[in-house]
Structure 1
Amino acid sequence: MRILKLSRTLLAGATLAVFTTAAFASGPTPFTATYQVSRGGEAMGEATITLKSLGNGEYEYSNQIHGTSGLAAMVGANTSDVTRFRWNNNAPETETYNSKVSAFKTKQRIMQVDWNTKQVSVDDGKGPTNYAAAPGMVDRNTTLLAIGLALRSGSQSVTLPIGVKQRVEQQQFKVQGTETVKVPAGSFQAERVTRTDSDKHFDAWYVPKQFPLPVKMEQSEGGDLTMQLVHYSTP
């Protein structure tokens, strides 16, 4: 009898493991997340982040920030970051990235990755810069998502090849511990992740079993930017 029960338990566990692996291998679940955004401690606006499946292992990941308070509202500051990536080897891999910042004037950067030739082209209006792509390369827009997906798979230390303007940076992130974090979406026991290869301040608090994005993020790059989760939903 004990052997029979043990066999059933092992079978159920194996079935669950296969199901989980298969579900994760098929790609992330689409979602919509909204955040409060502040800069230097002052309210700035709101961000809407969406992930859409385009079929055949292709996804569109969009981060739209609208200035609704203070100077950001006065100058009509908005940012739009849209990435198209493919799901490859159980991780995202950037194909195109379009970044646009609008305030007093508009700045735009377009990245295109040709995975057949393994070449990256980046153009911010001053002529393209080309360099070699790296397997598993993402862009700065999809960094938060790529970290969260790695944490969900059980990683505690993550190295990401991130395509920037002139090269691929091997950025390193590590879980430093678990902390209680209160944001508009609620109170969470979250894993605090820091960047360990740079002195630039970066902290992100993840609840990987619930969300592929952090519930809170703080970084010095971009002017002491803070994002706090307000709402998260899936189709």
Structure 2
Amino acid sequence: MRTLKLPSILLAGLALVTFTTAAFAAAPTPFTATYQVSRDGEAMGQATITLKALGNGEYEYSNQIRGTSGLAAMLGANSSDITRFRWNNNAPETESYNSKVSALKTKQRQMLVNWNTKQVSVDEGKGATNYAAEPGMVDRNTMSLALGLALRNGSQNVTLPVGVKQRVEQQQFKVQGTEAVKVPAGSFQAQRVTRTDSDKHFDAWYVPKQFSLPVKMAQSDGGDLTLELVRYSSP
């Protein structure tokens, strides 16, 4: 593994285009990224995100968050999100997604996608919910990766089909401009992206010509958390 030192770069002159699933080009490169996780400005844990190639166009994307300080450490708060997806028609498509969050109690979610029947099954332990899959559909775990892959190809308005509990949401994102961002990994000129179709807060700062994941992300879905990149390595 070669650890990359993350320099500051300026992204400018990107064409204004609308994302389609055809916008994805080269398949993603495996990586490991470590983030500092905080809530309301207080450090609470560490996230380790990995992408592994399984062969035959199959990938495993894992996001593990461990509470290391404050109340999160006292409660033993941890979460595990693991997605298996395929690279199909130059786009990622979720095949399975498993989520587990542990603190005072444990919450779990399993999503299975049958691409032969084009059906999605979501189970949180109270019986499965089923609905129709859509081409290029990802899940909430891989959404930030899929978004980064779209930005890598110059898109500034992005629509992603995201499978949630009961349906596929057409989530919309827009590049708001370029901003200076400082995180533990270094200083960057990054594209700030916001979600525009929902009142759920989502801001992410990407350097897409280098990395498929954001260098910083703040979101309210799943908890008011901020993730800041600490280090990134790839083969």
- Name the counterpart of 1:15: none
**TM-fit CA distance, 1:25:** 4.4
In the alignment, what sits opposite 1:78? 78
The letter for the 2-side match of 1:69 is S
Contact 2:185 2:231 survives alignment (8 Å): yes
Is 2:91 the counterpart of 1:121? no
Which aligned pairs between 1:24-35 and structure 2 lie closer than 5 A? 25-35=25-35
CA distance in structure 2 between the aligned counterparts of 1:93 and 1:223, rounded to whole angstroms? 25
- Return the letter of the residue paired with 1:133: A
Q: Deviations over 1:150-209 (max 9, x none)?
A: 000111111000000000000000100000000000000000000000122110000001
Q: Distance in 2 between matches of 1:163 and 1:222?
A: 15
For 2:61, give the aligned amino acid: Y
Measure how far apart 1:222 and its partner are: 2.8
How far 1:123 sits from its partner (Å)? 0.4
Residue pair 1:26, 1:57 contacting (<8 A) in 2 also: no
Note if 1:44 corresponds to 2:52. Answer: no
1:89 aligns with 2:89: yes
Number of positions where the alignment pairs a residue of Structure 1 with one of Structure 2:
212
Q: What is the DSSP-based 3-state SS (H/G/I as helix, E as strand, rest coil) of the residue aligned with 2:198?
A: coil
* Superposition misfits of 4+ residues, deviation over 4 angstroms: none
Amino acid at match of 1:214: P
Matched ranges for 1:20-169 at <5 A: 25-169=25-169
The alpha carbon displacement at 1:105 in A equals: 1.6
CA shift, 1:221, in A, is: 2.2
Residue 207 of structure 1 corresponds to 207
- Would you say the 8 A contact 2:25–2:153 is kept in 1? no
In the aligned structure 2, how far is the partner of 1:198 from the partner of 1:167?
Answer: 15
Structure 1 residue matching 2:171: 3-state secondary structure = strand
Q: Is the 8 A contact 1:40 1:223 kept in 2?
A: no
**Higher alpha-carbon Rg:** 1
Unaligned segments of structure 1, at least 5 residues:
1-23
Taking every aligned residue pair, what percent have the same amino acid on both sides? 85
In 1, the alpha carbon distance for the partners of 2:199 and 2:106 equals: 29
What does residue 181 of structure 2 align with? 181
Matches of 2:200 and 2:101, distance apart in 1: 22
**Unmatched 5+ stretches in structure 2:** 1-23
- CA displacement, residues 118-151 of structure 1 (integer Å, 9 cap, x when unaligned): 0000000000000000110000000100000000
CA contact (8 A) 2:195 2:203 kept: yes
Q: TM-score scaled by structure 1? A: 0.88
Task: Say which structure, 1 or 2, has more relative contact order (CA 8 Å, 6+ apart).
Answer: 2
Moved more, 64-73 or 25-34: 25-34
Higher-helix-fraction structure: 1
Q: Deviations over 1:24-53 (max 9, x none)?
A: 745110000000001122111000000000
Alpha-carbon distance in structure 1 between the residues aligned to 2:84 and 2:221: 23
Secondary structure at the residue paired with 1:223? coil
Secondary structure of the 2:47 match is strand
